[in-house]
Amino acid sequence: MTKQRSEIEEKYQWDLTTIFPTDEAWEGELAALQADVEKTAGFAGHLLDSAKSLLEISETQLELMRRMETLYVYASMKNDQDTREGKYQEFQAKALGLYSALSQAFAFYEPEFLEATEEQLAAFMEEEPALQQYSHQFEKLLAGKKHVLSQEVEEVLAATSEVFDAPSETFSVLDNASIRFPEVTNEEGELVPLSHGSYISFMESSNRAVRQEAYEGLYSTYEQFQHTYAKTLQANVKVNNLKARLRKYDSARHAALSANFIPESVYDTLVEAVNKHLPLLHRYINLRKKLLGIDDLKMYDMYTPLSDVDYKFTYEDALAKAADTLTIFGDEYSAQVKEAFENRWIDVHENEGKRSGAYSGGAYDTNAFMLLNWQDTLDNLYTLIHETGHSLHSMFTRKNQPYVYGHYSIFLAEIASTTNENILTEKLLSEVEDDKTRFAILNHYLDGFRGTVFRQTQFAEFEQAIYKADQESQVLTAEFLNNLYSEINEKYYGLSAEENPQIQFEWARIPHFYYNFYVYQYATGFAAASALSHKIVHGSPEDKEHYLAYLKAGSSDYPLNVIKKAGVDMTKEDYLNDAFKVFEARLTELEALVEKGVHL
């Protein structure tokens, strides 16, 4: 049974007192920041008065945003640890309200800044050398000049940010705090509660009846609420399409990718490359069908391990394995891992009301915290090392970049985390002493590749399709979304939509569809990580140095330039094809082990 938070040992809870010692301290900073935001009222109209005014106003904005970020992170993470608590829902709402006020207070900044000429900015930087560290930031602002609106319109958009966030917030409350799944039968024949956190464990069960009951129980709940989920998703799509149209982008995807200076061709190349390699996925699924001895393979059979090797890890064992694996990066990296693992950066176990899934979070001035919902599985070891990759990326960036460049592009975010996963696979395969364990690791890798490259690209294809449909005035009803999703799913897996009716509701449970063209980066990140991990494990010391430099770069250069310096050119298809070569080689190795009878 899922525990209450009060029943979780303190050592397994993140220590948010390192951000604010008490809730009262947070409330005090909220009031202080509100007062300081109000003091900026006289800035509008004076940004370009002089080099000094540009510096003063720019640095004031950054300082207030830095404090705002810390304030929001505390409220958000307090809410995530138990989404049922009204107090922290209120904290988060207050933080979002203040963020909206802060954005509104500086809505003048970009329109005024974009009135500057290159000659004027050059003269200002010569007169005030402290401005020079902002040269890349200024360059990025100028690149988006045609998408910045008048000050009046910018103020309106800033003031409505809470309204625009409503679909995502509604989904979060509905999915994490409101809906309840039925009880299902576990492998011991006991009726137990089904939850977001336990669902994947049921899907990994070797008992097909257990898998089927949990699968049907989960999706029967989403079927019940499908029309509500359709409304929240449709509203979110409309918000992003509206904002893109107002800012004169071709589409919401164009706007989202432009924010990271990523050409849309990178997205299209991914979808095309994955579709070209779908026969590899079908080959793997046919092998799965053969190994499971199931003629009528269903979607709930996709996650159960093909191996019976009991490769489980307690949380403590996982910490030790992750720390050992990551020593490959050197002492500087390992010292940071030790700090994260020993000083309560991680919220480990599931509790009632806790946000589902896993993430790495925090602000520039806080620890890079991690949220988990721990289960003793190999998959959770990978989740731990994945989120550690995010957190270490964050800490290296924050320690080596000023606040203005202290956040890395989301396009680069999944590369560091997935590089860690790939290195873990390399290590496990290098340590294996018998064919059965090797079979289990290969199976896990192939399932991970399927879930990251193929599945996330499937999501990306669906996401692009629903945004395009909305642009073409198609109403995103539950029926439309169900049909579209089942068609794409059938193409990817080769499993009949008619024989897998529940999968049509899967779109309703995917939070990343509210992240505005985020999911494709899991797939591109995994493929880039495949190339980088090969260099780190098999390359020279310089390859590791280049990788650490990438971790430290933050947003001090354009994302594609940062990763190119680390050794991967993501404007070309080569890195994707190389990743599929690794997948095929490991699939071939698994097939050879099957021929040897290792699975029997």
Catalytic residues: 387
Rounded to whole angstroms, the Cα distance separating 226 from 485 reads 13
Q: Which residue has tokens 């977001």? A: 196
Residue 183: φ, ψ to 5°: -75, 145
Q: Are 478 and 139 in contact (CB under 8 A)?
A: no
Q: How distant, in Å, are the alpha carbons of 89, 170, 201, 323, 450 from that of 177?
A: 11, 10, 21, 34, 30
Which amino acid, residue 462? F
Residue 346: φ, ψ to 5°: -115, 130
Give the ranges where 472-538 is alpha helix by DSSP (H). Answer: 478-493, 520-538
520-538 vs 541-553: helix axis angle to the nearest 10?
Answer: 150
Residues 6+ apart with CB under 8 A from 164: 239, 243
Biggest CA pair distance of the chain: 78
Rounded (5°) CA angle 447-449-450? 60
Q: Are 384 and 38 in contact (CB under 8 A)?
A: no
β-partners of residue 370 are 346, 360
Rounded to whole angstroms, the Cα distance separating 375 from 312 reads 9
Residue 29: CB atoms within 10 A of its CB come to 17
Q: Which residue has tokens 């509104």? A: 104
Residues 6+ apart with CB under 8 A from 382: 421, 424, 444, 448
Return the closest-CA partner of residue 391 out of 417, 365, 358, 428: 417
Q: Are 523 and 456 in contact (CB under 8 A)?
A: yes
Q: Are 151 and 107 in contact (CB under 8 A)?
A: yes
Give the ranges where 146-260 is alpha helix by DSSP (H). Answer: 151-159, 161-173, 196-203, 208-224, 226-246, 252-258
Tell me which H or E stretch contains 193: strand 191-193
Q: For 355, which DSSP code?
A: P
Q: Which residue has tokens 């004076």? A: 46
Half-sphere exposure of 354 (CA within 13 A, CB side): 27
86-105 vs 23-38: helix axis angle to the nearest 10?
Answer: 20
Give the ranges where 406-454 is alpha helix by DSSP (H). Answer: 410-431, 435-449
Q: How distant, in Å, are the alpha carbons of 156, 240, 403, 485 from that of 236?
A: 18, 6, 30, 17
Return the closest-CA partner of residue 217 out of 189, 185, 173, 190: 185
Rounded to whole angstroms, the Cα distance separating 253 from 517 reads 6
Cα 377 from chain centroid? Answer: 21
Rounded (5°) CA angle 500-506-507? 135
